[in-house]
A and B are shown apart, each in its own frame.
Chain A
Amino acid sequence: MSTVTTQDRHRPASRWLVLGVLLVASVYFLAPVWWLLVASTKTSSGLFSGNGFWFGDFALFDNLKQVFTRQDGIYGEWLANSALYAVGGAGVSTLISALAGYALAKYRFRGRELTFNGVLAAVLVPQPLLAVPLYLMFSQLHLVNTVWAVLLPGMVSPFGVYLARIYAAASVPDEIIEAGRIDGAGELRIFATIALRVMAPALVTIFLFQFVSIWTNYLLPVLMLADDHLQPVTVGVVGWQAQRALGSGAVPLNIVVAAAMVSAVPLVILFLSLQRFWRAGLTAGSTK
Chain B
Amino acid sequence: MTTAPTGRAVPEAEPARRRPPLRHPRPRPRPRPRGRGRTAGLFLAPFLLLFTALYLAPIGYTVHQSLFRMHRSGLGLTAPTQAFAGLANYAAVLGDPEFRGSLLRVLLIGVVQVPLMLLLALVLALLLDARSTMFKRFFRLAFFLPYALPGVVGAIMWSYLVAPGLSPITAAAEHLGLHLNLTSDGMLGPTIGNMLTWGWTGYNMLILYSALQSIPPELSEAAVMDGCSAFGIAWRIKVPMIRPALVLTTVFSIIGTAQLYNEPAILHNVAPNLSSTYTPIYAAYNAVDANNFNGAATESVVLALLAFVLSFGFLKLVQRRGAAL
Contact = CB atoms under 8 A, between A and B. Distances in A.
Contacts of A153: 54
Q: Kindly name the residue among B127, B158, B159, B272 whose own CB sees the greatest number of chain A CB atoms within 10 A.
A: B127
A135 to B, nearest CB: 6
A115 B132 contact: no
Contact of B281 (A100, A193, A219, A244): A219
B145 interface: yes
A218 B262 contact: yes
Chain A contact residues: over half helix, strand or loop, or mixed?
A: helix
Contact of A109 (B1, B32, B35, B269): B35
Contacts of B149: 33, 264, 267-268
A53 to B, nearest CB: 7
Contacts of A103: 39-40, 43-44
A213 to B, nearest CB: 10
Q: Chain B binding site: helix, strand, loop or mixed by DSSP?
A: helix
B251 A136 contact: no
B297 interface: yes
Interface stretch (B58-66, B72-80, B84-92, B110-118): B58-66
A247 to B, nearest CB: 13
A123 to B, nearest CB: 10
A239 B104 CA distance: 29
A273 B149 CA distance: 15
B285 interface: yes
A216 B152 contact: yes
B196 interface: no
A134 interface: yes
Interface in B203-260: 203, 206-208, 210-211, 214, 221, 224-225, 230, 244-245, 248, 251, 255-256, 258-259
Contacts of B48: 100, 115
Interface in A1-49: 3, 5-7, 9-10, 14-15, 18-19, 21-22, 25-26, 28-30, 32-33, 35-36, 39, 47-48
Interface string A134-170: 1111011000000000001101101001000000000
Contacts of A129: 258-259, 281, 300, 303-304, 307
A71 B136 CA distance: 45
Contacts of B189: none
B150 interface: yes
A176 B31 CA distance: 10
Q: From B46, B244, B251, B303, name the one whose CB has the most chain A CB atoms within 10 angstroms.
A: B46
Contact of A191 (B43, B281, B288): B43
Contacts of B259: 126-129
Interface in B144-171: 145-146, 148-154, 156-161, 165-166, 168, 171
A180 interface: yes
Contacts of B225: 5
Contacts of B33: 106-108, 174
A102 B42 CA distance: 12
Interface string B105-131: 000000000000000100110011011
Interface in A154-204: 155-156, 158, 161, 174-180, 182-183, 185, 187-188, 191, 193-194
Contacts of A29: 142-143, 145-146, 198, 201-202
A285 interface: yes
B156 A244 contact: no
A207 interface: no
A79 interface: no
Nearest to B59: A133
A260 interface: yes
Nearest to B131: A6
B70 interface: no
B58 A241 contact: no
Contact of A268 (B32, B133, B148, B210): B148
Given A106-B33, A174-B31, A218-B152, A7 B132 contact: yes
Nearest to A135: B288
Given A3-B221, A6-B131, A133-B300, A183 B43 contact: no
Interface of A: 3, 5-7, 9-10, 14-15, 18-19, 21-22, 25-26, 28-30, 32-33, 35-36, 39, 47-48, 52-53, 96-97, 99-100, 102-104, 106-110, 112, 115, 118, 122, 124-137, 139-140, 152-153, 155-156, 158, 161, 174-180, 182-183, 185, 187-188, 191, 193-194, 215-216, 218-219, 223, 234, 237-238, 241-242, 244-245, 253, 256-257, 260-261, 263-264, 267-268, 271, 279, 282-283, 285-287
Given A109-B41, A183-B1, A286-B210, 7 more contacts: A30-B145, A33-B157, A35-B161, A132-B296, A241-B269, A253-B166, A260-B157
Interface of B: 1-2, 19-20, 22, 31-37, 39-41, 43-44, 46-48, 50-51, 53-55, 57-59, 61-62, 65, 120, 123-124, 127-128, 130-135, 138-139, 142-143, 145-146, 148-154, 156-161, 165-166, 168, 171, 198, 201-203, 206-208, 210-211, 214, 221, 224-225, 230, 244-245, 248, 251, 255-256, 258-259, 261-262, 265-266, 269-270, 272, 281, 284-285, 288, 293, 296-297, 299-300, 303-304, 307, 311
26 contacts: A3-B221, A5-B225, A6-B224, A10-B131, A18-B127, A18-B133, A22-B133, A29-B201, A32-B157, A39-B160, A108-B32, A110-B37, A115-B48, A124-B255, A125-B55, A132-B297, A133-B61, A137-B57, A140-B61, A152-B50, A155-B50, A174-B31, A218-B151, A218-B152, A263-B150, A286-B244
